[in-house]
Every structure is written in structure tokens, then in C-alpha cells.
Structure 1
Amino acid sequence: ISTVKGFHGKTLGALSATWNPKYRNPFKSLISENFKFMPFGKLEKAEETITEETAAVIVEPVQGEGGVHVAPPGYLQGLREICDDRGVVLIFDEVQTGFGRTGRMWASEHWNVTPDIMCVAKALGGGLPIGATIAKADIMDSLKTGEHSSTFGGNPLACAAACATIDVILEENLPERAQSLGKRFKRILEKMVDEFRVLREVRGLGLMIGLESRLFVYNVLMKALEDGLILLYSGRNVIRFLPPLVIEINQLERAAEILKGIFAEEDKSLIEKRRKPPSAL
């Protein structure tokens, strides 16, 4: 079981767990039909969907591509209890949230919940491609030697980069830095929400933040590029901020200043459209 708006990758096995039809439909004849999708954050729906016949539940503690939605209080704890009660494996996808991004080494630490399996990647390699699966001993021991492998699995260069990256994250206390900078940047964005009509909400943890607009953000992304600011979207109306954990506060403030100018234009355009009289028939 996966979640609505959940994203777990585009390779064939992972694509089966990814919700977005845009990614699934071109490969529909190949992906597994053994997945069901339940709403994210709704424990009562999880109670209905997860049964003794369920093999596993996979969830992001903070949905990334789905719009930067943080798991509501009690949700992950509730999933843990349901899975324990029904003998179901609980998988956390921390590919985007892991390694300090949300202000803790693992996002799941915010809720003090431990999964049976955890998927990690992205920040692990410090820019080099590497992914890893971390699991409880009995789960890992269920695989026989050679049963699961890949051509570049255990690549020595990528593994050396991962070891060095983890050392830096721990030695420089980057999770705590992400938490501190994230709070400050979030306050800046919240002031922008109060100031501009086109903005609706700010949400996120640490340096994983979503800024939701009332309009599509394509024009904002393109205008920001012209000013030297590279932004990421998360759905058609959410700007997703995933800056490096070593970013400086003055760089975040500069990004906010660029966005203020763009949103001022967006606000002005919105007001003019509303004031414009309807054309005569």
C-alpha cells in the first residue's frame, strides 16, 4: 500500500508505488497491480485499507513531489501501531527527507517512529549517484546471497563519497543547521504570504519547505531564472525549497528578495485582471 500523491521513483519497481498517473500510464502494462493507494495523513483510511493480507506500507514522512505535505501529528505513530497489530512491514521513503534535510538526521525522528525498512539516496552521495536500503536484520537476512544485486551496486567511488558525506553531516551538525535556517526562512516566507494575495500557505520541516500559490507557478519559476534563482516546483502551484544544508542566511534572504519582486508583479497582474470590465457581447 502506498499513498495518494506519494512519489517513490520512476524505475519499474518503484513506479508501481508512485501514485501520479502521469508517470504510471505510459508503463501501465508493465507495472505491478499489487499496489493500492490510500489518502496521506488520514489514519481512519489506513485502518480500513491495511489488512492482515497486506505485505507492506510505504510512505514518505514528508511528501516531496506531492506538494511538501508533512505527516500530521499521530499519523506515523498510528501507522506503526496498525502495521504491528496486523503483521505488516512499514517502509519509510527518506530519499528526499533523510540526512538532515528536515532538521533531524531522519525525518521519522520528529515523530519518534522507527520503520522496518528505510529507503535512502540523494544526499547520501553528496552529488554522486548512490542509494541504499536499510532494514531490520531479519528482513535483510531473508535475502540469499546473489538474490538481489545490480551492476553498480556497492560502487567503491560512490561508497567513498557517501562515507565522506555522512562524516561532514555529523561533524558539521548539518541537521541542526537545517532546523535553525529553516525556521528563519519559513518566517520570511510567512510574512510574504501575509503580504501577497497570490500566496496561500507555507509548510515544511527544516530546509524542506513548500510555498503554495493560488495560481500556477510556472511564470514565477521562469522569472526567477532570469534573476539567477533556480527554483523547483511540487505540483502546479507549489514552489519547493530544498537548498543545500550549507547555504548561508544571506543567500536565503536574497532568494526571498527576488521572490518578493516577482510576487509583487503577480499581485498587481491579479488585481488588474479582477478590475478589468467584462468584454461586451
Structure 2
Amino acid sequence: MTDSIQKTDDFVFQTYLRQGSAPFVKGEGTRLTDSEGKTYIDFLAGIAVCNLGHCHPRITRAIEKQASTLVHVSNLFYTRPQADLAQALVENSFARRVFFANSGAEANEGAIKLARRFFQVKGDTQRHKIITMEQSFHGRTMATLSATGQDKIKDGFYPLLEGFIHVPFNDLDALKNAMDDTVCAVMLEPVQGEGGVIPADQGYLEQVRALCDETGTLLIFDEIQTGMGRCGTLFAHQAYEVFPDIMTLAKALANGFPIGAVLATKEAAKGFGPGSHGSTFGGTPLATAAALEALSLICDPDFLARVIETGDYFKEKLGELRDRHERVKEIRGKGLLIGMEIDEKAGAVVDACFKKGFIINGIQDKVLRFAPPLIVEKTEIDQLAAVLDSLL
């Protein structure tokens, strides 16, 4: 299988720094196996995507069944899987309308367009600016890149789109100072994932919601990484008991099959009318059938309770490492989205873990990110903790 690596290096754009000397050929539960037969315990889940583990049998059966009957007809026609998924999302959220896309960036792009058009269709054309957070990450398209609050990701893509203001996360005064009658929306992640696994402070989201209500501004929650059970509730904002006007989903929505979604209140959804937005592949029967099965599994209260329990256990084990090693500076996160800040380059630890058969991720230079399948066992956490202990 070394030819797979050579072909990738020869023919694929070199935008990723890939790990490993052999391609992965099989996934099952929390395990990945490469072409040489080496098995790894996955603590990244495809970057918070395979929340139910790799090749979950019920997701596989749903895809196989739907692929044998109807794959695509376009959104010019009705299909049952899309209707059922939209209903299930509405019944399990604050929302009353759903728009389907293909990815997180596309979902966020849709949310940005919706927020702007919501005011413009009412004749309030001056309200077009969107406030986002420093260290945020919203995608790689030009609009979502402009919304992202990290300069290093924007490097080489200037000029960016106008109309985005960045303020420090968890700083209400900075948000208030940036708010004026040209702002149409505030957009944020309840837990910043790519920004270093930084949760919203207790009370911050409530204050942001109140400020948006006071100024008539729409509130958008980017739940692409934090949603679908990742933080111990179906959507991370539910733990804060604060609800947005618009929410975006992707990543784990179909447990690895590409799909994105924009959810909105009935009022906010008025920003889109026939012909105002669209997507050729958004919400195909195949994608929505997979997502409907994933949602039905993750919605189980017992499943979500287990995520909280396992996440607490994981943070406890990492806390023990912090107590033993001065190189560990902080443990933070919610549910099974956890960051461990260390006093050295994270990449060296990531590479060392990979050699020992554990897949983790490094972000923001010195933060180790853990986002395992939500079915991860405590014994697997113990194994990783022992490896990290030896490395630290």
C-alpha cells in the first residue's frame, strides 16, 4: 500500500501534513487499522466526526439500504429521509426550520447569508456586520475564513470579505463596545475547538443572549464541532440553557458521511425565501438517512449521560498528569472535547503517541486535543493516560 502514499504525494494538493507510513484501511469502533496490520486507538474520531465510532453497524445498514433505493434527485423534489431528519432536528432543538448543506463551512456560509438577508428583506440594509470571536474557527471558504478570528489561517488569502468584527471570547464589555446599529448577528462557538478547546464562561452566553435581545441582533451558535453529543448534551448550548436564533451543524451529524445543516427559529428563517439560497447536494436521501440514524442513537439520554461520565473520568485522569508533571499547564473542555495545554510544542507529543498506537491532535501550538468516539471505554483512556505519563 506504499503506492497509496506515493500517489497521494504525487497527485493530491499538498495542503495536509499527514501522519504514518501506511494508509488506513479499516475502522471499527474506536480502532483504526493500517495496511500493515497495525491497530491504533483513535482519540480524534476524524476531528470530532465519528462520534459513534468507525463503521457503526446501524449507520452502515442505513447507508446500504438507502443506497439501494434512492441516492439523489435534487431539492426540486420531496424525499422522505430529508423530511424525517428535519422533523427530528426540530423536535430535539430550539429550531423550527432546517436548511441542509454538505459541510460545516457551507453551513456557516448559509448562516451568514441568512443573518444578513433577514434584515435586508425587511429594508434594514445597514445591518450587515457580524461580530465573531478572536481564536474562533468557522471554515475555509472566503466568508467563513473572514469570520474566523485566527490570522494564521487567513495568511495568503487577502483581501478578505468586509463586514466582520472580531472581539475577545468571554469578554462581554468588548462585545458591547463593538455593538452598533450596523450589526446583524453575533456568531460564536459555545466551546472553541480549533482555538484551543476553550469553553464559554458560565454566564457569558446568557449575557450575550440578553445583549442580542436588547439590540435586536441575531445570535448564531456554531455547533459544528461541539454538537451531536460531543459535549455531553445533544448540542453544547443546551448545557448553558441559552438558545440561539440560528445554529449550524456538520461533522458528526451523519457520523462521517458528509452533511451540514443550518437550523433557525421560525422568525429567523424568514430571511430565506424561494430561490434565495440552495445546494445541489445538500440533504440528499443518502446523507439524511445516515444522519437520521446517527441522531436517533445520540439522542438517547443514557448515551448522553455516559458521555458526561466518561468525559469527567477523562479529565480526572488528565488532572492526575497535571498534578505529577509541571509541563502540563491546564486541562479544559466539556464532555469528550478536551484540551490539555503543555509548555512545549504539541506536535512532538502527538507524533510520539502515534508511534505508540494512539491518535491525538495538536492545536494552537501547545494544546493537545482529545475528541475520541463517544463510545470510548475507560480502559482505553487509562491506556492513553499511561502513555502520556511516560512521555511527559
Q: Deviations over 1:20-61 (max 9, x none)?
A: 1222232212x3111010000011111111223211010000
Relative to structure 2, which stretch is displaced further, 232-241 or 171-180? 171-180
Q: Report the AA paired with residue 21 of structure 1.
A: D
Show the counterpart of 2:151.
Answer: 21
Deviation at 1:73, TM superposition (A): 1.5
> C-alpha distance in 1, partners of 2:200/2:300?
29
Following superposition, the deviation at residue 106 of structure 1 comes to 1.1
**Aligned amino acid, residue 154 of structure 2:** R
| SS of residue matched to 2:299 | helix
How far apart are 1:75 and its partner, in Å? Answer: 0.6
Does residue 75 of the first structure (1) align with residue 204 of the second (2)?
yes
Deviation per CA, 1:191-227: give whole Å up to 9, x if none.
1001011110101111011000011111101111100
Deviation at 1:172, TM superposition (A): 6.9
Aligned residue identity for 1:11: T
Confirm whether residue 148 of structure 1 aligns to residue 277 of structure 2.
yes
Which residue in 2 is equivalent to 1:6?
Answer: 136
SS at match of 2:247: strand
Indicate the residue corresponding to 1:111 in structure 2: 240
**Contact persistence 1:229–1:255 (CA under 8 A):** yes
Please say if residues 346 and 365 of structure 2, whose CA atoms lie closer than 8 Å, have aligned partners that are also in contact. yes
Structure 1 position 163 matched with structure 2 position 282: no
Q: Give me the whole-angstrom Cα distance separating, in 1, the residues matched to 2:251 and 2:302.
A: 18
Pairwise mapping of residues 93-112 of structure 1 onto structure 2 (< 5 A)? 93-112=222-241
Give the deviation of 1:124 after TM superposition: 0.3
Is the 8 Å Cα contact of residues 237 and 243 (structure 2) preserved in structure 1?
A: yes
Measured against aligned partners, the alpha-carbon deviations of 1:245-279 in whole angstroms (never above 9, x if no partner) come to 1111111111111111111xxxxxxxxxxxxxxxx
Q: How far 1:120 moved relative to its partner?
A: 0.7
Give the number of aligned pairs.
Answer: 262
RMSD: 1.1
Q: Deviations along 1:82-138, whole A, 9 cap, x unmatched?
A: 111111110000101111111111111121100000011111011101100000112
Asked if structure 1 preserves the Cα contact closer than 8 Å seen for 2:222 and 2:247, the reply is yes
Higher relative contact order (CA 8 A, sep 6+): 2
Which residue identity is paired with 1:214? Answer: D
TM-score, normalising length: structure 2: 0.65
Deviations 1:123-162, CA, capped at 9 Å, x for gaps = 1011101100000112213211122112211221111100
The residue that corresponds to 1:208 in the other structure is: 337
| Aligned residue type for 2:134 | V
Structure 1 segment 269-280 matched on structure 2, within 5 A: none
**Contact between 2:346 and 2:363, CA under 8 Å: does it hold in 1?**
no
8 Å Cα contact 1:52-1:88 kept in structure 2: no
Distance in 1 (CA, whole Å) between partners of 2:301 and 2:132 is 35
Q: What's the counterpart of residue 269 of structure 1?
A: none
Structure 2's unaligned 5+ residue stretches are 1-130
Q: Kindly indicate whether the alpha-carbon contact (under 8 Å) linking 2:308 and 2:335 is maintained by their aligned counterparts in 1.
A: yes
Structure 1 length-normalised TM:
0.91
Identity %: 39
1:192 to 2:321 alignment: yes
**Does structure 2 conserve the Cα–Cα contact (< 8 Å) formed by 1:2 and 1:59?**
yes
- Residues 52 and 87 of structure 1 are in contact (CA less than 8 Å); yes or no, is this contact kept in structure 2? no
Q: How does 1:116-155 map to 2 (within 5 A)?
A: 116-155=245-284
The code of the aligned residue for 2:314 comes to F
What SS is found at the alignment partner of 1:36? Answer: strand
Partner of 1:42: 171
